[in-house]
Structure 1
């Protein structure tokens, strides 16, 4: 069985009422009409048992071996939680006007960092449900542990992808307790890259106990011109 805290790659499919709502498989997502161009498909990297997936999946993964595939039905409390009436709030229309938002029924909004859906609009007040869309629902998952990642360089590269999924062409070296990460030239133009670098460094220092320092290197080369 996989130990808690181990980095693994998992593939999965999530169903509610027999309908696919989440998957790591790009072709399946396209086939079932839930494909999103903003998603990065392929096996997802997580640290097992640390709350990076639904509670019921975290518990199941700790019972599984590499290469094993299982199906599980999760009750609401092990999935997206029970519906909480206190998360359904009446918000004055004036709050939306301050933010330049014109709400409509079914609109998904984010207020103070919390996503919610507009349920109704009446008498200058907007009823917003901040429960997760699948709160209170039973869900079924097919999940497989594709591999365990033990190599330190690979762990660093996967941590980078966790925080900046589309960042490729990253060179990693580890020597004398220092991890050196060479970033591509376009890296400075990635939104919130400085915050991501800090998070990446903290995660590396947390996971690799023999590492004392994380260094990011950005190199700019002279472009060759053709005569």
Structure 2
């Protein structure tokens, strides 16, 4: 039976950009595929991703394909630009005065990403007076080949909450523990998430999705438990490493006066060179 709106499913995908009749892999949820095609990113969490049919923001072609699929099914589709990342719009290539960026402390270079008017763009050209910033999506105007596989459907409300927490907070689902009783969900998160800079905003999105998408849950409690003995041990370990590092740096400075002086001169020269380059522009 085909999937319907509101279904929680785990989906594997691989994307290729089709350019001049050739296919170039650009993204995948499969770690082995990423390694094979030299696009592996150690910062990325690989594995099937959560999709809530009709609710998750997807490429139009992917959303249509999933609505026709069932659990365990695989499909390969070709998406035209209008059903993928959109048509390319030359009006989104902006010309900015170079001196304006320099005044903001930005040293323009081809390939540098920056935000203009709330949109992310990339610098494609730098001249003596102007900088050209392309606000189009990098894949705009390209046909996209998409391989999809629906690996599993999630039915249990507690597991739905767990996957939503994993998605929004950015941690593996195995690190999230959820206890659900009489409509009340207790979500236990590891203390490591306390280091997430935008944790409050992430938690707000998580709570919002639970309220909208998991009708069985009426109340959510989020709990962090910190083992202070472990925390103290970690702090002592970091303090010891810092003391050893400082002792090593002091020894190196005493043992090589000429090297220290030369290094100090290089540091002095760097900001001067940058200032001269900016004013020379």
| TM-score when normalising by structure 2 | 0.75
Larger radius of gyration: 2
Segments of 4+ moved more than 4 angstroms: none
Aligned match for 1:21, one of 23, 26, 34: 26
Matched, 1:80 2:81: no
| TM-score when normalising by structure 1 | 0.92
Matched, 1:55 2:60: yes
Matched, 1:187 2:188: no
Matched, 1:139 2:139: no
Q: Where is the helix percentage greater, Structure 1 or Structure 2?
A: 2
CA RMSD for the aligned pairs? 2.0
In structure 1, stretches of 5+ residues that fail to align are none
Provide the rounded CA distance (Å) in 1 between the counterparts of 2:99 and 2:154. 51
Match of 1:158 in 2: 163
- 1:62-119 deviation digits (Å, cap 9, x = unpaired): 0011101011000000000001122111122233224422111232333344221212
Provide the rounded CA distance (Å) in 1 between the counterparts of 2:155 and 2:33. 29
Match of 1:9 in 2: 10
Provide the rounded CA distance (Å) in 1 between the counterparts of 2:185 and 2:72. 30
Matched, 1:102 2:103: no
Work out the number of aligned pairs and report it: 226
Alpha-carbon offset, residue 222 of structure 1: 4.5
Matched, 1:219 2:225: yes
In structure 2, stretches of 5+ residues that fail to align are 234-281
Provide the rounded CA distance (Å) in 2 between the counterparts of 1:78 and 1:142. 15
Residue range with higher mean Cα deviation, 46-55 or 73-82: 46-55
Provide the rounded CA distance (Å) in 1 between the counterparts of 2:17 and 2:175. 38
Alpha-carbon offset, residue 216 of structure 1: 1.0
Q: Is the 8 A contact 2:16 2:146 kept in 1?
A: yes
- 1:161-189 deviation digits (Å, cap 9, x = unpaired): 11122255222112232221122222222
Matched, 1:65 2:70: yes
Provide the rounded CA distance (Å) in 2 between the counterparts of 1:99 and 1:142. 43
In structure 2, the residue corresponding to 1:116 is in which secondary structure? strand
Q: Where is the strand percentage greater, Structure 1 or Structure 2?
A: 1
